[in-house]
Chains A and B, each alone.
Chain A
């Protein structure tokens, strides 16, 4: 358990809901859930994950800190927004799920083998390096996510598709060297740094 995690757990002992309200984006809406279960019934990923949003929210109120933060549920969310569209209490469920994912990640509690968490990291790294998504690099890094051997195999299997995309100019091969970027890259990085700073300062402060 990381020090920060330990500190927060101690600070909010017995009141995980309060911890979520203070530290998770839109976490204050968790208490407004009325447990109707419409989100759980609407979720296309419903049968495939550990806990439905309804359960996650109930677990937060029931102080199940470790179980919530280590759950795979928020990583399985595809952001289809079905739950938000249908929630009778108009809770931003998708956003809360992402907020919880971010918080779990910060506390280093993400399940180690969670592929969507891995993909999210790849995507983030790709995006933040130049401020633009480099699709070619993202695709390649995705192929090689689970090791070199599997990467080659996947690449070979998609060979024909790749060539066709090249022919129809759907894939820019020169992206492999550098690739395009936002105009003010250093400004972009400074902005991200500041945001991260604000965020961790606030959580840091809450942990004391």
Chain B
């Protein structure tokens, strides 16, 4: 591309823009103030003729960058698609005329709004260049699967079938995992009536026969490092360690059954005939179709009680707060073992095993769940809604029936506890750091460190991935110790690009869901390899070639970027300068927002590309009574919400100027300071929901922004400005009624506290 910047500004007159706005004036603004090489308007810019006009100018060299003043950047992306050409979209339709009344008295402010947006577009384009992939890509069509349970095995076979090499690392001496310990599993296909074989043996055989798959038994991942497309892995088997490289990793480390010894009220530790679901599977396996014998005296069981939610969905200390998702189906399945076995033994006589499932809420997720429940009822499994208060050592179950509203007891031969699952999610690095920090601080203050902190530190947790990332050895965890995933929009993604959690380590699930999960994770793993090979970002900026770079002379080696990067993409070299692992990067710009010296930028998104837009806006002086509000809106949810509000013609203040940002996390406080310094009266930030049930597309971006803005009060104070001038909001994509209100609220606030004194 030629060095000289020749910007062509194209103003659309379609969609009523020509009638509502003075486009000649806009052309003049683009030329005189925006200093573009040429400015043209067209009646129907997104039509073939309009697009050809732009393309012709690009081809003839009359322009090499384009500013398109038409509709929202989210509309007509197919028409306005000029490969390799930097482009700025000026939102005159959704951003201006659709949110303003078509009345004569509103015309002046509406025109001003449009003019400002044209100025902003012309300012932005000066600081944009075409992103090019860096030189650091690797393509390694090799998928590493950690864990040889049903999830891992499914992932491995799926990847191998797609033509990728697979290494499968399993800690124990056999494939199968928890599913391998089951007698049968809940049905996965219609009519969902009977338990079916687990299929583990066949799956394991398939893997052994597949020459694309290498299986490492009795092995662990002793080290992993690198980035998507070029991971370096060390696999330790006994004393021997070997190195392999792979393109992406699927973590299918599974789950562990909750320790029932903690459930003293159910006498698990003392009573041999009170067992867990997994122990019941072992009994059924031993019986293999014959009568099930209880552990204490080998008596054939006649009356079995299943206690659902044992130590689950409970707020008691040490109990699991969540539902493990599979236990209701598992209990139905196990009751069926008994029913079917009895029937087979007695050949249709009325000899029967009584099976009672005591539940508070029966949950049978999945397509066949309800059918399976019905099949259980049909086979004579008794379901009683009751909360169990205790189980005695001789297996007497006391409970209160919630339908009949009375207490009852069942004298059972065998009691099966549905205890639920705990994810094998590796070390919780964040928590470890937190505890260590607390301990250090207490010690520094010469205070006694509480025993529970010491106890928690003392619990050894095995790392699964042994990542050599600066940000910790394992995938970050969210609530209840499950490996993080963006469960609303991108359930397979984790916060370590190229590493995908699948199965019950990600969220509670049964074997069928785990297999579906494994398939999904495999597709993501393959995508990660292919994306990395081309230097492209994974979701949500899928295909983005831009990546952060920094001006070394300016860097103070503070490591804020490394700390705040939600994806652990940034390391640092021996001198403490950041190292951006482009393939791990999701291009959110959180590093750019974090950088106190503002040296980090993307080719098409930088401190300047936004900062100059803010400055380009015309600020009327104090006596014009025309305040200016800046809205920095996250492009993922808030900006679409604003667009949709516009489509519904919800009007908002004409004094607002909206700038889309990649993520609220990319908002550098300098933008706020600059805006206030140059005379804006208020600033509104709109990002996604943060916290444990976050909707932020970059996980931590919104949270970071909220944190930074909580400290902006100091800046405001030094400027002698009111705190109310800056507001941060969590906005969902559905908040189309709310976003205009938020803007109008700020306009009202400014009305009350008065205009900024910084107008020049």
Contacts and interface: CB of A to CB of B under 8 A. Distances in A.
A125 to B, nearest CB: 36
B354 A61 contact: no
Contact of B380 (A31, A34, A35, A55): A31
Given A15-B352, A18-B350, A35-B403, A58 B384 contact: yes
B354 A15 contact: yes
B597 to A, nearest CB: 63
Contacts of A62: 384, 401, 404, 408
Interface in B384-412: 384-385, 401, 403-404, 408
B373 A31 contact: no
Contact of B374 (A32, A55, A64): A32
A110 interface: no
Contact of B403 (A15, A17, A58, A89): A58
Contacts of A138: none
A92 B287 CA distance: 38
Interface in B322-376: 350, 352, 354, 362, 373-374
B404 A35 contact: no
Contacts of A89: 374
B405 to A, nearest CB: 9
Given A54-B403, A55-B404, A17 B378 contact: no
Nearest to A17: B382
Contacts, number: 40
A61 B378 contact: no
Interface string A3-46: 00000000000110110000000000001111100000000000
Contacts of B380: 17, 31
A53 to B, nearest CB: 12
Contacts of A17: 380, 382
B383 interface: yes
Contacts of A18: 350, 352
A158 B377 CA distance: 52
Contacts of B377: 31-34
Contacts of A15: 352, 354
Nearest to B354: A15
Given A58-B401, A58-B404, A35 B383 contact: yes
Contact of A31 (B354, B378, B401, B408): B378
B278 to A, nearest CB: 27
A133 interface: no
Contacts of A31: 377-378, 380, 382
A34 to B, nearest CB: 7
A130 B14 CA distance: 87
A33 B385 CA distance: 12
B180 to A, nearest CB: 33
A127 interface: no
Interface string B30-43: 00000000000000
Interface string A54-77: 110011011010000000000000
Nearest to A28: B378
A64 B404 CA distance: 11
A89 to B, nearest CB: 8
Kindly state the interface size class of chain B when it binds its partner: 10 to 19
A33 B401 CA distance: 16
A35 B385 CA distance: 8
Nearest to B373: A34
Contacts of A34: 362, 373, 377, 383
Contacts of B403: 35, 54-55, 58
Contacts of A64: 404
A55 B405 CA distance: 10
Interface string B451-481: 0000000000000000000000000000000
A173 B430 CA distance: 94
Nearest to A64: B404
A15 B350 CA distance: 11
A154 to B, nearest CB: 40
Contacts of B354: 14-15
Contact of B382 (A54, A59, A61): A61
A64 B373 CA distance: 24
A89 B371 CA distance: 11
A17 B380 CA distance: 9
A61 B373 contact: no
Nearest to A33: B377
Contacts of B401: 58, 62
B350 A61 contact: no
Nearest to A30: B377
A49 B383 CA distance: 25
A17, A31, A54: most-surrounded residue (chain B CB, <10 A): A31
A31 B373 CA distance: 11
Contacts of B404: 55, 58-59, 62, 64
B604 to A, nearest CB: 55
Contacts of B362: 34
A61 B386 CA distance: 13
Contacts of B385: 35, 58
A35 B402 CA distance: 11
Contacts of A59: 404
A34 B380 CA distance: 13
Contacts of A58: 384-385, 401, 403-404
A6 to B, nearest CB: 19
A184 B394 CA distance: 65
Contacts of B382: 17, 31, 61
Interface in B277-311: none
A43 B352 CA distance: 34
A106 to B, nearest CB: 20
Contacts of B378: 31-32
Nearest to A37: B403
A202 to B, nearest CB: 14
A89 B354 CA distance: 23
Interface centre among B373, B401, B404 (most CB of A within 10 A): B404
Contacts of B373: 34
A128 to B, nearest CB: 34
A35 B362 CA distance: 11
Nearest to A88: B370
A19 to B, nearest CB: 11
Interface string A141-175: 00000000000000000000000000000000000
A54 B352 CA distance: 25
Q: Which of A14, A33, A54, A61 has the most CB of B within 10 A?
A: A61
Given A14-B354, A32-B374, A61-B384, 7 more contacts: A31-B380, A35-B383, A55-B403, A58-B384, A58-B403, A62-B404, A64-B404
Interface of B: 350, 352, 354, 362, 373-374, 377-378, 380, 382-385, 401, 403-404, 408
23 contacts: A14-B354, A15-B352, A18-B350, A31-B377, A31-B382, A32-B377, A32-B378, A33-B377, A34-B362, A34-B373, A34-B377, A35-B383, A35-B385, A55-B403, A55-B404, A58-B384, A58-B403, A59-B404, A61-B382, A61-B383, A61-B384, A62-B404, A89-B374
For the complex of A and B, list the 9 residue pairs with the smallest distance between their C-beta atoms, beginning with the closest. A58-B403, A32-B377, A31-B377, A61-B382, A58-B404, A35-B385, A35-B403, A31-B380, A62-B404
